[in-house]
Amino acid sequence: MDKKATLIRIFKYIRKYSLLVVISILLAALSVALTLYAPILSGRAIDCIISKDNVDFQNLAKIIISFIAVIAATSVSQWIMNACNNRITYRVVKDIRVKAFERLQSTDVSFADSHPHGDIVSRIVNDADQFSDGLLIGFTQFFTSILTIFGTLGFMFSINYKVTIAVICVTPLSLFAASFIAKKTYDMFGRQSAKRGNLTALTNEMITNQKIVKAFGYEANAAGRFEKINSSLAKYSLKATFFSSLVNPTTRFVNSLVYACVAIFGGIAVINGANAGGITVGQLVCLLSYANQYTKPFNEISGVVTELQNALACAARFFELIDEKEQISDKNNKEIGAVSGNVRIEDVSFSYDKSKELIKNFSADVKEGQHVAIVGPTGCGKSTVINLLMRFYDTDSGCIKIDGNDIKTVTRNSLRKNYGMVLQETWLKTGTVKENIAFGKPDATDEEIIAAAKLTHAHSFIKKLPDAYDTVIGEETGNLSQGQKQLLCITRVMLSLPPVLILDEATSSIDTKTELRIQKTFDRMMRGRTSFIVAHRLSTIKSADIILVMHDGRIVEQGTHAELLKKGGFYSEIYNSQFAGE
C-alpha cells in the first residue's frame, strides 16, 4: 500500500473526530497568534527604554501586564489543544485496533494457518503503538508548525518586507532537505517494521516450543536464526536512524543562514533609521525573535516527517491485516437448531494449495447416532475432513449436508453449536478451571460442571489444585500436565453434549490407564449421538459402526473392524503393523 492510500485511510478514521480536530486547529491558531504577538510586546518594551534616564515606565508596565496575560493564555490554549490531540490519537488507534482484531476474527482459518502468529501480534500491538506515537507528534506539532511559519512571515512583512523576502529566499533549502530525507526514511522504517514482526514471530515460536527446542538441542540454531533477523533489524534501524538524524544538522544549518540574513539586513535597516524606511532597535530584536520562531517549525516539521514515515509504514502493515479477505459472509444464511445428526458428504474435493490435490471425490453417508472412525496414514486428509465438517474451510467442489441442509446455506455459528470437538491440540483460555469447562455452556451451574468433571475423571486432580475449580489457569500454565489440559477439554464437551461429536486424537496425551477409563466416558457421551473419531491407535476404534480408511485423499475402504480385517486390505495392513510386536 502506497503512502497516499495509507494517508487517505488514516483521514477516514480521523473524520469521525472532526469536531475535536476543528477545536485543535482553532486552539493551535490561537496559540500561534499569541506566541507571535509576544515578540512585538518585547520590541515595544525595548523601545520604551530610550536611555538610562529616559524610560517610559507607564507604558512599560502596561506592556509587562499584557505580556504575562499573553503567556498565560498561550499556556492554557496549548494544554487544551494537547488534550484534544491525545483524545484524537488514542481513539483513532483504538478504532483501528478494534477493526484489525475484528477482521482477524472474521478471516478464514487459512489466514492464521499461513501467517506467523508473532507477526500478527506485532501488527496489532507494536505497529499500532508506533503509529500512535507518530500520529500524536503529527497532531501536536504539524498544525502549530505550519501556522507558525505563515504567521511569522506575516508579522515580519508588517515590520520590514525586505528582510522577509531575504528569509523566504533561503527557505527552499530546508524544504528540499526535508523532502529528500522523507523519501529515504519511509522505505527504511517499512523494512524495520517488517523485521520487527519477524523477530516477534520467531521469539514467540521459540518460547512456545521451548521444551522441544531444548530436547532436540536446537538452541544454537534458534540463536542463529535470531541473530540473522536481529542483524537485519539492526541494519534497517540504523539506516532509518541515519537518514532521520540528517534532519537536525541540515535544518540547523538553514536556520543559521536565516538568522544571519535577518541580522545583516535588519542591522542595515537600523542604521538607515526609521525615518529612512528602516527599523528601530526594538523592531530588530522582534525580527531576530521571529527568525528563531520561523526556523524552529522547520526543525519540528522535519522531525514530524520522520516520525510520520515510521507511522505510515506501521499503518500500512496493519491496514494490510484489515484488508485481509473475510470469510464468505453467512448473514443471509438460515439458522438451524439442534440437529438429529445425519451427515452426508457428496463428492467433495478440497486442497489447501490449489496446485496440489488433497481430498478428491470424497463421499460418505453417516446416519444419526452412528460412530464413524477415520483412519489412514499421516497427511492423507483425516483432519482436513474435520475442518470441512466444521466449515473452517469451504469445499472446492461437492457439498456436505447435515439433516439435509447444505452447510454452506446455514450460519457457521448455528452449525458449530451442533458440534462438540476435542482436538489433539488443547486450548485453554486465561481464567478459572470452572470458566474453562463452562466455555461452551456459560450458564452451567456448579453442580453440572462438577458432575461433568467426575464423568471424565478430571474432578480428582481439579480438587488438588490450589483453589480447586476457582484456580486460574491458561494455555501456557505450568501447573497442569498436557493430559490434564486434555481432560479439561473433554469435560468441556461432556458438559454441553451437542448432537454431533468430533474426537481428533482426543486421548493422545492421556496415559493408557486413564484412557481406558475415558473410553467408557466417550461411550456414554457418544450414545445416541453421531460421532466422528480420528485416531492413529486403531485399538480405540474397534467398536465403531463404520471405519473410513483414507489414503491420498480418497476413501479406499470402509466397513466395520471385523469386516476390514477379513478383507486383508490396507486397513488390515495398518492394524497388523501396529500390533506386530505383540
Give the sign of the dihedral formed by CA 222, CA 227, CA 228, CA 234: positive
* 168 plus 296 within the same structural domain: yes
Domain endpoint, select from 256, 288, 322: 322
Question: Could you tell me if 108 and 246 lie in one domain?
Answer: yes
Domain membership flag for residue 506: no
User: Where a domain ends, among 447, 472, 497?
Assistant: 497
Distance (Å, whole) CA 314 – CA 303: 17
In a domain, 477, yes or no: yes
**Nearest to 126, CA basis, from 315, 296, 286, 273:** 315
Q: Does residue 311 sit within a domain?
A: yes
The predicted structure's pLDDT at residue 582: 44
Q: Is residue 170 part of a domain?
A: yes
Query: What is residue 19's predicted lDDT score, i.e. its pLDDT?
Result: 87
Instruction: Indicate whether 571 belongs to any domain.
Output: no
Look at the chain and report how many structural domains it folds into. Answer: 2
Do the beta carbons of residue 17 and residue 92 sit within 8 Å? yes
What distance in Å separates the CA atoms of residue 80 and residue 85, rounded to the nearest whole number? 9
Find cell 493551535 and name the residue.
28
CA-to-CA distance for 453 and 494, rounded, in angstroms?
A: 8
Looking at residue 158, which CATH number applies to its domain?
1.20.1560.10
- Structural domain contains residue 340: no
- For residue 198, the enclosing domain spans 97-322
Same domain, 140 and 284: yes
Q: What pLDDT does 388 receive?
A: 83
In a shared domain, residues 290 and 148: yes
Nearest Cα to Cα of residue 318 among 89, 10, 88? 10
pLDDT at 108: 65
| pLDDT tens for the chain, residues 1 to 582 | 566 777 777 777 778 888 888 888 888 888 888 887 777 777 777 777 765 566 677 777 888 888 888 888 888 988 888 888 888 888 888 888 887 777 777 666 666 666 666 667 777 777 777 777 776 666 667 777 777 778 777 777 777 777 777 777 776 766 676 666 666 676 777 777 778 777 877 777 777 666 666 666 677 877 888 888 888 888 888 877 777 777 667 767 777 777 777 777 777 777 766 554 567 777 777 777 777 777 677 666 666 666 777 777 777 777 777 777 766 666 777 888 878 888 888 888 888 777 777 778 878 888 888 888 888 777 677 778 888 888 888 888 888 888 888 888 888 888 888 888 777 777 777 788 888 888 878 888 888 888 888 887 788 888 888 888 888 876 555 567 777 787 888 888 888 778 888 887 766 656 666 667 667 777 777 777 888 888 766 666 777 888 888 777 677 888 888 888 888 888 788 777 765 544
Q: Do 165 and 284 lie in a common domain?
A: yes
pLDDT at 140: 66
β-sheet with 419-422: strand ranges across: 419-422, 500-504, 530-534, 371-375, 546-551, 554-559
* Nearest one of 468, 469, 414, 390 to 437, comparing CA atoms: 469
> Which residues neighbour 334 within 8 Å (Cβ) at sequence distance 6 or greater?
405, 409, 410, 411
* Same domain membership, residue 312 and residue 434: no
Calpha distance 580→578 (Å, rounded): 6
| Cβ-proximal residues to 238 (8 Å cutoff; 6+ apart), any chain | none
- Domain CATH number, residue 477: 3.40.50.300
Closest CA to 422 of 376, 456, 393, 447: 456
How distant, in Å, are the alpha carbons of 298, 399, 406, 552 from that of 394?
A: 55, 9, 11, 19
Q: Is 81 helix (H, G, I), strand (E, B) or coil?
A: helix
578 — phi, psi (to 5°)?
-75, -25
In a domain, 284, yes or no: yes
Query: 284, 300, 322: which is the final residue of a domain?
Result: 322
pLDDT of residue 581: 46
pTM of the model: 0.57
Specify if 582 maps to a domain.
no
Cα(9)–Cα(242) distance, integer angstroms: 29
**Residue 274 has what pLDDT?**
53
